[in-house]
Chains A and B, each alone.
Chain A
Amino acid sequence: MSSNTQNTEAALTVPVDDVLRYELLESNGPKNAPTGDPVMSVRDLNVSFNTEAGTVHAVRGVNFDLWGGRTLGIVGESGSGKSVTALSLIGLLDDNAHVKGSIKLRGTELIGLTDEEMSQYRGANISMIFQDPLSALTPMFSIGDQLAEALKIHDPEMSKADVRARCIELLELVGIPEAEDRLDSYPHEFSGGMRQRVVIAIAIANNPDIIIADEPTTALDVTIQAQILDLLKVAQKETGAAVVLITHDLGVVAGIADDIMVMYAGRAVERASVDTLFARPGQPYTMGLFAAVPKPHMPSNTRLVPIKGNPPSLAAIPPGCPFSPRCPIAGPECFKTEPHLEALDPAEGHLVSCLKMQQIRDQHLTYKEVYPDLEPLTPKWAEVPRDERPVVLELKDVTKVFEVQSKGLIRRTKGIVTAMDKVSFQIHEGETLALVGESGSGKSTTLMEIMDLAVPKEGTITVLGKDTRDLKSARERRELRRDLQVIFQDPMSSLDPRMPIYDVLAEPLRAQHWDKNKINRRIGELMGLVGINPDYVDRFPSQFSGGQRQRIAIARSLATNPKLLLLDEPIASLDVSIQAGIINLLEDLQTQLKISYLFVAHDLAVIRHISDTVAVMHLGKIVEYGETEEVFNNPQDPYTKALLSAIPIPDPPVERTRLRLVYKDGELVPANEVHV
């Protein structure tokens, strides 16, 4: 059994440059093999933090090179060390980080530089785009000032007029209309996507050699995400920089990256050109990611394959391969020695870190063999045709109008916003309706109206045959509530951290005045139903992982045997490898208990996988409503078409070549004809 220190030593003995040379010579990605010298070379990068849980080894022996004009995608889940890697390249880690190894920028060693020395390179040679555009800009300064600051800090001599001209040029480049007038605007006057454009303008202001983009689109809507990814390509073309794109979403890297590095537990577990990696993932974890992700561009006929268990704590990485406890093909040796990157196929520059590499290579294992569990989806309700099943929820022409008040000191009514405009749909027993829309589409309002059993000003909401208008007493409402339950997005916040699981699950039952024995029995049942060991009833929510917490939240919502579940982005806050387990659970429960789901989400791939019917919302209206496959294969509404064309597809050749459509004032325009 080797300890962590021994692992690090082992990593040191690997002939790093030999291994990396495969990529240099043989890479067959979209841009072929890189030429010339790399702009940045990272060797044996180790980053650790001291925390009360012990020393957290966030990055352990990572090696890579960056070439101008090429994009490296770093893919991993939370805790994989991808963001820490990115921050160490630009020297923005917290002061308590211990960085070891070597990061060379055109031959200059960056590790060990002081903040003052490093600031010479930041912005000028290396720049960064952050995840959350809403908080990335200083609210007190106009965007013109913030852009100008980026220029002047590296060139104090620059004249005012030059700075201004360059700022306008940059804003136009990133696609901000009326750039000159917007210079004096403050960040809060821009939308999230626009702010991210400003951040990109700042990042490319000094023509850097390296642009690091840390989940640049995670906080954005899917159509905006597509635009920002296109803009990143423009920025790269403009500056000739090497781009490092960090993401958890395989679809995002498919269209933009040249090379991919997959990280797990602080290590690179697989490296290859984007085409090779997507075509032939060679490491069980990478394969698992592919098996766990629903495909937006194909109808789903198999269940998803969850990767069991959870990623290890970086403060206590088990000996051996860190993925071994979750790996379906792990053998005894996998629990003893930690593998390092080796060439799977020297001809392709494909590097994999796995002790079972020989077996994978010889038997040509793909994820279908490694995760053999790809059961076909059981057709639901084949025996009773849809029309003959009762309707559990029906909205008819529901309209909801908000008065919008301006933010700030003087609240005045700015106008009215129609959050729901004649919204109509129905859900039959045992089926799933997905409500899709981007932020501001009105999908959350719709959900709230149903949860509140609201009486709409116009239209009707009918829950299980009862019109909300006819609910007279609080008792009638409470009784209806029993059959209508909610699951929220964030299981961290939906379970009271001060309550043991027993009380969490007992709460809805107590509210319905069940007696104690009945409650005890029911809790046992529920825990079994969602797959949580019933012995854990005394534990507190924080003792469970995110996926387990969501299971508990599902158990709570099932406590009173509801007929209809409202799911508000139930898997959006979970890691990819955990999502599949929850989706499968929801599917199983639907088959077992014949519940109906109203599934509100923005992730179209998940929706295609799980739903029977889809309602697409845009600006308060349902613009498209129909059977899921019908909507995905043959969308009618231009907005739906634009939305579908914006989903990143985890298939590089498809993603690189397909036509993206942009919805503009009710019309569709191909993206390459729109000024980005």
Chain B
Amino acid sequence: MARFLTYVAKRVINYAVMIFVATSLTFFLASAFMSPRSNYESRTPRPPQESIEQSLTANNLNDKTPIMERYTTWLKGIVTEFDWGNSPTGTSVNSEISQRIGASVKLMLLSTVLSIVIGVGLGVYTAQRQYQWQDRLWGGVAALFLTVPTVVLAILIVFFAIEINSASGMRIFYVTGLSSYTGDNVLLAFLDFLQHILLPTIVLTIISAVGYHVNQRTYLLDEMHADYVRTARAKGLTKKQAIRKHALRASLIPTSVNVAFSIAGIFTGAVMTEKIFAIHGLGEYFINCINNNDIYGSVAVAAFSGVCTLVGALLADLFAAALDPRIKMS
């Protein structure tokens, strides 16, 4: 066990260094490409120069301060107070992010679960019917969804939802936000939430279920042709039994590694979907930061998603170790 903890500690330290370097790199890039000064200068009426300088300096965003000085100030803030800085308007990045994580999790959780269940299920189903019409049909669907740009897919879904709404004369689907009900009835509030979440969930589920489907199909096909499946059949198992008992188990190992990654992804949200459906999650915040020259907001988002990715990587290792007897923990 001690050895296991040492191993995890080593990995975590390596990842911490990686995130530190990556985040610092993002800081310098963001500082080079973004100009918070222009936010103030383009205001009408243009504020006096002095107040521009004052606001910028107050938020540690003044490009007249040497970059290394800004960097150390920023870093010190994080290390000492876990303060990730302010936006050009002076709002705290910390509070912005913590407010928005909830919306992203609400959006992502359902679609992640659905996409795993549907995608893996389809993968197993089609692999067992390789080259039959079911496989061809779902393969074609997957190829189409992989090819169509996400924007186009989301817009078309919204378009048809609006058509249905206007045809039926009712607001069945909501295409913006996560809730609009303001009353106290819990049931109605939940129904309202479902009406809002349905369309973005469809979009997100389609996008990631396709990946699970294609991968699971490939993994299972690979294992189906393994020698040990033939051994199992030679024992007297039918082909279907041999696949179900032997090949499927092995093919789920890489899939569970993928699942580990998507668990981490739940927290970082989805940029396009949040933008199109006006959901105020991290993905949308991300776009706003870039559009508003919010250097610290962008860097914080980068760092946060970096942490999530690496937590996913660590989880993936652990999943694999738990499932595959060839990988020993001790």
Contacts and interface: CB of A to CB of B under 8 A. Distances in A.
A139 interface: yes
B222 to A, nearest CB: 12
A202 B250 contact: no
B227 interface: yes
Contact of A188 (B231, B234, B241, B326): B326
Contacts of A410: 3-4, 7, 328-330
Interface in B213-232: 226-228, 230-232
B141 interface: no
A137 B235 contact: no
A224 B150 CA distance: 58
B236 A154 contact: yes
Interface residues of A, number: 39
Interface string A602-638: 0000000000000000000000000000000000000
Interface string A469-487: 0000000000000000000
B234 A128 contact: yes
Interface string A375-400: 00000000000000000000000000
A199 B231 contact: yes
B246 A138 contact: yes
Nearest to B245: A149
Given A119-B237, A410-B4, A130 B326 contact: no
Interface string A77-106: 000000000000010100000000000000
A669 interface: no
Interface stretch (B120-128, B296-304, B317-325): B317-325
A449 interface: no
Which one of B3, B4, B230, B321 has the highest number of Cβ atoms from chain A below 10 Å of its Cβ? B230
Interface string A392-431: 0000000000000011111010000000000000000000
A186 B234 contact: no
A589 B246 CA distance: 52
Query: How would you classify the secondary structure of chain B's contact residues: helix, strand, loop or mixed?
Result: helix
Contacts of A137: 228, 231
A292 interface: no
B129 interface: no
B236 A406 contact: no
Which one of A139, A154, A202, A412 has the highest number of Cβ atoms from chain B below 10 Å of its Cβ? A139
Interface in B236-283: 236-241, 245-246, 249-250
Contact of A132 (B227, B324, B328): B227
A409 B250 contact: no
A404 to B, nearest CB: 14
Contact of B239 (A115, A154, A407): A115
Interface string A189-227: 000000000010011011000000000000000000000
A116 B325 CA distance: 31
Given A135-B228, A140-B249, A188-B326, A409 B317 contact: yes
A551 B236 CA distance: 45
B233 interface: yes
Which one of B7, B234, B328, B329 has the highest number of Cβ atoms from chain A below 10 Å of its Cβ? B234
Given A139-B326, A409-B321, A119 B227 contact: no
Contacts of A120: 236
Nearest to A202: B235
B327 interface: yes
Interface in B66-92: none
A547 interface: no
Given A137-B228, A409-B317, A150 B233 contact: no
B323 to A, nearest CB: 8
Contacts of B230: 92, 130, 136
A123 B236 contact: yes
Given A138-B246, A408-B328, A123 B235 contact: yes
Contacts of A149: 232, 235, 237, 245
Given A409-B329, A410-B329, A130 B233 contact: no
Nearest to A127: B234
Contacts of B234: 90, 92, 122-123, 127-128, 130, 203
Contacts of B227: 130, 132, 135-136
Contacts of B7: 409-410
Interface of B: 3-4, 7, 226-228, 230-241, 245-246, 249-250, 317, 320-321, 324-330
12 contacts: A90-B234, A92-B234, A122-B236, A124-B236, A130-B227, A136-B228, A140-B324, A406-B328, A408-B327, A409-B321, A409-B327, A410-B330
